[in-house]
């Protein structure tokens, strides 16, 4: 195994109605371009879609002029094939931000 150093930028925002802040939070993470619409890839599991959270978040982003694409075609404990499918979606879409 090759050594590596991982420094994730993880931020968790929790509380009632914090989803209303999605546009401001996304822009604070660098999802802003000098020209054109910022592109965001939203990755979530099918349960989040079924619960309606996906539609709410993507709707808020679209209302604020984000170009939104989704990937939720995977299951718990995703296989390498599922991960590769997500990588392919991201490579094709070329997002500015991943949520």
Q: Do 87 and 78 meet the contact criterion of CB atoms below 8 Å apart?
A: no
What's the pTM?
A: 0.80
Name the band, by pLDDT with cuts 50, 70 and 90, for residue 12. Answer: confident
Which residue ranges form the domains of the chain, and what is each CATH number?
18-98 (3.40.50.1970)
Whether residue 92 is predicted with pLDDT greater than 90 in this model: the reply is: yes
24-43 tens-digit pLDDT: 998 887 655 555 788 999 99
Mean pLDDT calculated for residue range 45-52: 92
Opening angle at CA 39, ends 98 and 11, nearest 5: 30
pLDDT band at 81 (very low <50, low <70, confident <90, very high): very high
């Amino acid at each position: 195994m090759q050594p590596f150093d991982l420094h994730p930028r993880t931020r968790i925002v929790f509380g009632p109605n914090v989803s209303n802040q999605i546009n401001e939070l996304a822009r604070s993470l660098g999802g802003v371009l000098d020209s054109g619409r910022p592109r965001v890839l939203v990755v979530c599991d099918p349960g989040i879609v079924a619960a309606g959270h996906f539609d709410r978040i993507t709707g808020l982003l679209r209302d604020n002029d984000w170009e939104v694409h989704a990937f939720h075609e995977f299951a718990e404990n995703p296989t390498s094939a599922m991960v590769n499918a997500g990588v392919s979606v991201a490579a094709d879409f070329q997002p500015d931000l991943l949520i």
